[in-house]
Amino acid sequence: MRNGRFANASSDKAAAAFRENHAASERTLFHEADAASHHGGRPARRRYLALWFPFLPADRLRRQTSASAHTGAKASGVAVDAPAPAPAPAPAAPPLVFVAPVKGAMRLAAVSPEALTAGLRPQMALADARALAPALRAVPARPDLDDAFLARLRDDFERFTPLLAIDPPHGMVLDVTGCAHLAGGEAPLAARVRQRARAAGLHVHCALAATPQAARALARFTLAAGDAPLVVPEGEDRAVTARLPVAALELCERHHMTLQRAGLKRLADIIDRDSVSLASRFGADFPARLARITGAEDARITPERPSPPCVIDRVLPEPVARQEHVEALLAGLLRDATQRLEQAGQGGLRFTALFYRTDGVTRAVTVAVSQPTRDAALVGVLLRERLNALDDPLDPGFGFDQIRLSVGEAALLPATQSGLSTCLLPAKNKLEAGQESIHRLADRLAARLGSEAVLKLCPRDSHLPEHAAILLPARLASAGASWRAFLPEDPPLRPLHLFRTPQPVEAIGEAPDGDLLRFRWRRMVHDVATAEGPERLSPEWWRTLPETMAPERSATPVDDAKSLRCERDYYRVEDHEGRRFWLFCCGIADAPAPRWFIHGLFA
């Protein structure tokens, strides 16, 4: 009895702990709502975490070389948990510098920690650097690779918050408002972020403050920032940022010198000065810049991706790699997401499943539907279809440790009664059911072949054939105008097939009045049996672009594309074998004689 009770109690405790963990792991980020509810309705103070990677190029190069030397692994991965070399420099490493030509001279663009200790600084001439450190290794700077690496880091750091932006150079800002409690507070969150960056073999400075500018300035200009994350308590921004050097304002060289000469070394020296005189001396934006750094003025970041209406996360204690487990997790996430959408009276239009691999590679799979839906099974089928159709299949590697489902786009979807079988419904509803199943078919095909492969023809208000009908993805199709009216006794006056670019035709025989008698197209000679025309179509002068702005593909000869920009005389032509063509004749500005083109083929 006693034992049983104890066992029960302990299992209860375990269950409670599990529930707590589970609750923590199923994070639903409703940012604005979350933040507002925490502060009882008054405008929420936002919190920003700025990261700065002071040796990003050097860290990138070291990761690359060590990855290729040790495992030959793909360089695309961020490989956080892979055996990354410690950020501490190996004793024998020569100073590493990245050089780029500046005004004809090679100058240092970035340096490694070893080079910094050797006294080398960015912007130094390479010759001077070699004099200081003869053993240095110079590598050409690759800002494009640095940017790509930073973008991959951003994707990985998106697991902490959906709102984040790259903060050039070599930094990023995370909007962590309402996210800190998920990691157990702001300091633990900052520690986790720093830990993730250091595990990836990166030097990082982080600071958490009330404005993005304050966080940036603290991360970049506080000497102690390398040791531990700097978290500014709420309301103390002014006091903390006052200790920053005036360089943190990042003024131009001239203004910086002016401040230095005046003996103003720290922000504390100018914080209390009259803003009017500062503005007149250093430009109108100077007081605002100062106010943002000291936290007096609120500013926002522009996130890389807009915050989705609904995000649901599963943070997994153990990575999963088997496909059936991944699918089961996805099904659960979809169930939760659809419940949430139902509460909001909405239906999702775009669903993205994000797979975070343990080694930092992120993979996103997106499906879109044409009608808002809350049908978890339907979206599940579409996601499976998309996953099966991927050119490079989803590779779990060592497993996924977090799976996120975000509903990227949602629209109102009122609740409808379900359960009446279609045979009981009146005919109108049956037609609607048929229409709905066509939408489903389009969604399924789009998930398999890509959304640009499932198209609808949409009419546009133009008399030019190439503009009158456009092909749009079925999801985006809209009825803009109506189709051209025709007389029933007329034969079709527009071709069944239309070439994107008119194809040149060689006129072999022409009657004295200019009519075509015989022409050669695709190395075949066609004798004209009968023709009707001309039907003159003039270019739309109110829409014509200047020659230099008009898009021209290099693959097509310039003349063929040009032919669409001049007045065209169209003929319906039938040859002796009964093939019907839509030819036009136009005079191109710098061609000696009018030229013939084929624009379409009739049935």
User: Quick one: which of 350, 352, 342, 344 has its CA closest to 371?
Assistant: 350
How far, in Å, are 62, 76, 242 from residue 90 at the CA level? 11, 25, 37
And the tokens for 1? Answer: 């009895």
Q: Which of 159, 216, 568, 580 binds other proteins (CB under 8 A)?
A: 580
Please tell me whether residue 532 binds other proteins under the rule CB under 8 A.
yes
Please tell me whether residue 487 binds other proteins under the rule CB under 8 A.
yes
Q: Which of 456, 566, 587, 594 binds other proteins (CB under 8 A)?
A: 456
And the tokens for 158? Answer: 């998106």
Angle (CA) 386 389 393, round 5° = 100
26 vs 333: CA distance, rounded Å: 9
Please tell me whether residue 520 binds other proteins under the rule CB under 8 A.
no
Neighbours of 580 (CB within 10 A): 18
231-239, 258-266, 337-345, 438-446 -> range binding other proteins (CB under 8 A): 438-446
User: Quick one: which of 383, 375, 382 has its CA closest to 441?
Assistant: 382
107-115, 239-247, 350-358, 527-535 -> range binding other proteins (CB under 8 A): 527-535
Q: How far is the CB of 432 from other proteins (least distance, A)?
A: 10
Please tell me whether residue 562 binds other proteins under the rule CB under 8 A.
no
**Which C-beta is closer to other proteins: that of 7 or that of 457?**
457
User: Positive or negative, the Cα torsion across 492, 493, 495, 498?
Assistant: negative
**Which C-beta is closer to other proteins: that of 70 or that of 500?**
500
**Which C-beta is closer to other proteins: that of 134 or that of 488?**
488
User: Residues 274 to 313: which contact other proteins by CB under 8 A?
Assistant: none
Give the number of C-alpha atoms closer than 13 A to the C-alpha of residue 487, restricted to the C-beta side.
3
535 vs 270: CA distance, rounded Å: 76
- What are the DSSP E strand ranges found in 118-183? 137-140, 164-166, 171-175
Determine the size of the site formed for other proteins (CB under 8 A).
64
Q: How far is the CB of 2 from other proteins (least distance, A)?
A: 60
Q: How far is the CB of 443 from other proteins (least distance, A)?
A: 11
And the tokens for 397? Answer: 């590697």
Contact assessment for residue 82 and residue 63, using Cβ atoms and an 8 Å cutoff = no
Please tell me whether residue 449 binds other proteins under the rule CB under 8 A.
yes
Q: How far is the CB of 522 from other proteins (least distance, A)?
A: 9
Q: How far is the CB of 569 from other proteins (least distance, A)?
A: 15
Please tell me whether residue 387 binds other proteins under the rule CB under 8 A.
no
Please tell me whether residue 523 binds other proteins under the rule CB under 8 A.
no
And the tokens for 539? Answer: 């270019």
66-74, 129-137, 243-251, 455-463 -> range binding other proteins (CB under 8 A): 455-463
**Which C-beta is closer to other proteins: that of 484 or that of 553?**
484
Strand partners, 346: 412
33-41, 71-79, 80-88, 576-584 -> range binding other proteins (CB under 8 A): 576-584
**Which C-beta is closer to other proteins: that of 30 or that of 602?**
602
Please tell me whether residue 500 binds other proteins under the rule CB under 8 A.
yes
Q: Which of 168, 185, 345, 434 binds other proteins (CB under 8 A)?
A: 434
Q: Which of 483, 506, 538, 567 binds other proteins (CB under 8 A)?
A: 483
- Tell me which long-range contacts 108-112 makes (C-beta under 8 A, separation of at least 24): 109/57, 109/141, 109/143, 110/55, 110/56, 110/57, 110/58, 110/141, 111/55, 111/58, 112/55, 112/58
User: Quick one: which of 294, 182, 156 has its CA closest to 232?
Assistant: 294
The residues of the shown chain that bind other proteins, judged by CB under 8 A, are 427-428, 430-431, 433-435, 437-438, 440-442, 444-445, 448-449, 452-459, 465, 468-471, 474, 479, 483-484, 486-489, 491-500, 524, 529-532, 572-574, 576-580, 600-603
